[in-house]
Amino acid sequence: MADKTERFTLWYEETDGKDFPLVGKKNANLGEMIKAGIRTSPGFSVTIAANEKFIIDTGIKEKLGKYLEGLGEATYETTKKASAYAISLIESAALPAEIEDDILANYRKLCEFSRTNNVPVAVRSSGAISMPGQMETYLNIRGDKDLIEYVKKCWASAYNVEAIMYRANKGVGFLFNIGVGIPKMVNSRVSGIIFTLNTLNGDPSKISLDVSYGLGEAVVSGLVTPDSFLVDKVTLDTVKTTIGSKETQCVYREGGSDIVQADVPKEQREKLCVSLDEVKELCRLGKVIEDYYGKHYDIEFGIDADLVFPESVIILQVRPESIWNKKEVTARTEKKKDPMERILSQLLTGVKLK
């Protein structure tokens, strides 16, 4: 296999945070999360090198270079013209066969892995420098033809007027290659939230877990009473389980990226929506995230219907827990001179039977 720096595609797990010059920051961060043991949606990056080869082989680089030479002073008007020219060149060019073959071979692997033909993916721009919101991300892309089309659109989005202006302000040149990320769209059978502590009393030895059917929206926005679990963080044994009513669920609209609500059938409502193995795996990932970031975390996840356990358990978003992390912690036990004093005090208290 070719040297990593010369490849046209790299799977997320083949990269880490240091690889941002190869695949862009967003992609590199996903690789880093995987390296930390945090499972995200499976997918791959189209490298910056692929973008470079594309614009050289198709003659776009040369054409753009000549065009810019003849353009004169950079104004909003000229930039707008240059942007339209660049975008039309990119979108109308054909990909070099080796790049296209490489992308499509990976896509087929992703379809196989997801047990789905034409699996929907996201096509996300990923630059080697931070340019928040300047370039495009496309959701719910299916099939070879659309995929290649949208990879080009993504590359082209680096030549949006806003992106070009942003770069100009930062002293970065007009010509700019970016990485593209292609993760599988998460098709959540169930989804929910993990807190890496007992949210009721701040006990750090527990993990609180809320899960309900469908996409995360229903749980996050409080549309349903989810199943809830309290899990021992160290042994991953479930300490307490409550079955929620789970009347409704959010699902993708057929053929679009919109979401719609649907009723949950009665028999589905009355049972737990996740298996104990899934609960364990979610908590294990919760622990990994807490250890990695060094504080209690609030985590959104989905369990993908197209993937096989444990690969199906996917982390969607993580952020620090906002209440208990900030509270001052006081001792829960009384200070005692020695174990003897502790035993005495225990015997005097006894065990209350209410």
Write down the least CB distance from residue 323 to another protein, Å: 15
**Binding residue for another protein (CB under 8 A) from 16, 57, 144, 203?**
203
Give the Cα separation of 156 and 254 in Å (integer). 28
Supply the DSSP string of 153-205, one letter for each residue: HHHHGGGSHHHHHHHHHHT--S----EEEEEBPP-EEEEEEEESS-TTT--TT
What does the per-residue mask of binding to another protein show for 262-301, with x meaning CB under 8 A? --------------x-------------------------
**First-last CA distance in the chain:** 69
Stretch that binds another protein, among 45-53, 114-122, 156-164, 339-347 (CB under 8 A): 339-347
- Rounded Cα–Cα distance for residues 84 and 281 (Å): 48
Measured distance CA(221)–CA(224) in Å, rounded: 8
In terms of Cβ atoms closer than 10 Å to its own Cβ (0-12, 13-18, 19+), residue 76 is: exposed
Question: Binding residue for another protein (CB under 8 A) from 198, 199, 208, 312?
Answer: 198
Which residues make beta-bridge pairs with 10? 45
**Which range, of 171-179, 207-215, 256-264, 342-350, touches another protein by CB under 8 A?**
342-350
For residue 73 the two structure tokens come to 């002073």
Residue span binding another protein (CB under 8 A) among the ranges 83-91, 213-221, 246-254, 329-337: 329-337
Distance CA 104, CA 95 (A): 12
In this chain, which stretch among 28-36, 126-134, 221-229, 325-333 interacts with another protein, using CB under 8 A?
325-333
Question: Which C-beta is closer to another protein: that of 186 or that of 299?
Answer: 299
- Contacts of 281 by beta carbon, 8 Å cutoff, 6+ apart: 309, 310, 313
Distance CA 103, CA 47 (A): 10
Number of other residues whose CB lies within 10 A of the CB of residue 205: 12
> Considering only residues 1, 2, 97, 340, which one is a binding residue for another protein as defined by CB under 8 A?
340
Whole-number minimum distance, CB 345 to another protein, in Å? 8
For residue 293, give the DSSP letter: H
From 16-24, 63-71, 80-88, 335-343, give the range in contact with another protein by CB under 8 A. 335-343
CB of 229 to another protein, least distance (A): 11
Residue choice 63, 81, 142, 342 for contact with another protein (CB under 8 A): 342
> Taking CB under 8 A as the rule, does residue 234 contact another protein?
yes
Contacts of 270 (CB under 8 A, 6+ apart): 243
User: Would you say 1 or 331 has its CB closer to another protein?
Assistant: 331
User: Of 168 and 343, which has the nearer Cβ to another protein?
Assistant: 343
Nearer to another protein, 235 or 257 (CB): 235
Least Å distance between CB 18 and another protein?
A: 29
| Partner residues linked to 303 by β-bridges | 190, 313
- The residues of the shown chain that bind another protein, judged by CB under 8 A, are 198, 201, 203-206, 230, 232-235, 237-241, 276, 329-336, 338-340, 342-344, 346-354
